[in-house]
Amino acid sequence: MNFKHLKTFIEVANCKSFSVAATRLHTVQSAISRHINALEEELGISLFERNTRHVALTASGEVYFAHAKAILNHCEQAKNDAQLVAQGKLGVLRIGYLSSACAHFLPSVLRRFNEFVPNIDVKIFEMTAAQQLHAFVEGSIDIGFSRPIDYGYDGLIRHKHLSNDPIYLVVNDSHPLAQKNTARLTDLTPYSLTLFARDQASSLFDTIISAFHQHEIRPKVHSEPISMQALLTQVASSQTVALVPGCVRNLQTKQCCFIPLDIPLFTPLEMHWTASPSATAKTWLHWCEQDINLEKETPSHSPS
């Protein structure tokens, strides 16, 4: 079988004449005749009831006609879809994100992106920075939102700085420090420190520790919870203190008190992608550049 045969068949069925179909297809009548005969031979049935004066589809011809049109449409669809995928206008975009840092802006951003390219199926995965790095290496996400990640080797991963999230002291609301308007790091020395686990968020951990070192303080580390919500529960239920990104206030924070620090201490929020991004990732990056200014979307340092 052959697409040319199908096209010829459809044309003959439409104009009910071999010779008219020939001129419409810019060929000669004998070619049409042979195409139809070849099709009929292959199918083992006759598609047209014809003599030298009349051409009409048989019942089988009618059925085959409907199928033939659908098949050609399907071919066009296949071509179109493949091209859209290549252009990054159709497909899947997998985004890893740090829940505490992104939950407040990601939904609105993704909704606007979906309006821009409705045929990209955005799948989001809550992941720590370390998990995102691993996911990039094994190719299971296209875009990541997290604190800076420790990509040891060559330029596999690219990034863009989005915002600086100021770090706050957090204590329970009956804690002696809860009354202060701003806190100094030295205020914390009497208390044991709850510190977010390093393997979950190395950047935050290192920022905090190096700040203490700069002030020549050796904090007493009490515990290292692996989720921000667990950290807040720990703080709320004990006299320990903690240092957390301001965006954490978007979580459930009953009985916790956030106090600004007297020094500028920030943890950055970044967007990451690979050096050879997928087509959908390219579409995302292009959209981010021209349509959206993500920095404006992440006002995490505005006091609440």
Partner DNA sequence: TTCATTTATGCTCAAAAAAGATAAATATAG
Partner DNA sequence: CTATATTTATCTTTTTTGAGCATAAATGAA
Contact residue for DNA among 9, 11, 39, 50 (CB under 7 A)? 50
164: β partners: 268
Instruction: Please identify, using beta-carbon distances, which residue of 43 and 156 lies nearer to a copy of itself.
Output: 43
Q: Which residues contact 117 (CB under 8 A, 6 or more apart)?
A: 89, 283, 287
29 contacts which partner out of DNA, a copy of itself, none, CB within 5 to 8 A by kind? DNA
- Residues 254-283, one symbol each (x = binds a copy of itself by CB under 8 A, - = not), give ------------------------xx----
In one-letter notation, the amino acid at residue 264 is: P
Q: Using CA atoms, how far apart are residues 270 and 164, in angstroms rounded to an integer?
A: 9
Q: Considering the complex, what minimum distance in angstroms separates the CB of residue 59 from DNA?
A: 18
| Under rule CB under 7 A, residue 60 binds DNA | no
Stretch that binds DNA, among 13-21, 101-109, 196-204, 288-296 (CB under 7 A): 13-21
- Residues 46-65, one symbol each (x = binds a copy of itself by CB under 8 A, - = not), give xx----------xxxxxxx-
b/e code 176-214 from CB counts within 10 Å (16+ = b): ebeebeebebebbeebebbbbbeebbbbbbebbbebbee
Provide the 8-state DSSP code for 53: S
| Under rule CB under 8 A, residue 67 binds a copy of itself | yes
Q: Using CA atoms, how far apart are residues 119 and 91, in angstroms rounded to an integer?
A: 7
Contact residue for a copy of itself among 30, 77, 114, 252 (CB under 8 A)? 77
Tracing tokens 């070849």 back to the chain, one arrives at 38
Q: Which residues contact 54 (CB under 8 A, 6 or more apart)?
A: none
Tracing tokens 């009409």 back to the chain, one arrives at 56
| Under rule CB under 7 A, residue 58 binds DNA | no
| Segment (H or E) for 145 | strand 143-146
Tracing tokens 């007297």 back to the chain, one arrives at 262
Provide the 8-state DSSP code for 90: S
| Under rule CB under 7 A, residue 51 binds DNA | yes
| Under rule CB under 7 A, residue 30 binds DNA | yes
Stretch that binds DNA, among 31-39, 83-91, 221-229, 240-248 (CB under 7 A): 31-39
54 contacts which partner out of DNA, a copy of itself, none, CB within 5 to 8 A by kind? DNA
Binding site for DNA (CB under 7 A): 2, 4, 17-19, 26-31, 33-38, 50-55
Binding site for a copy of itself (CB under 8 A): 1-3, 42-47, 58-64, 67-68, 70-71, 74-75, 77-79, 81-83, 85-86, 90-91, 278-279
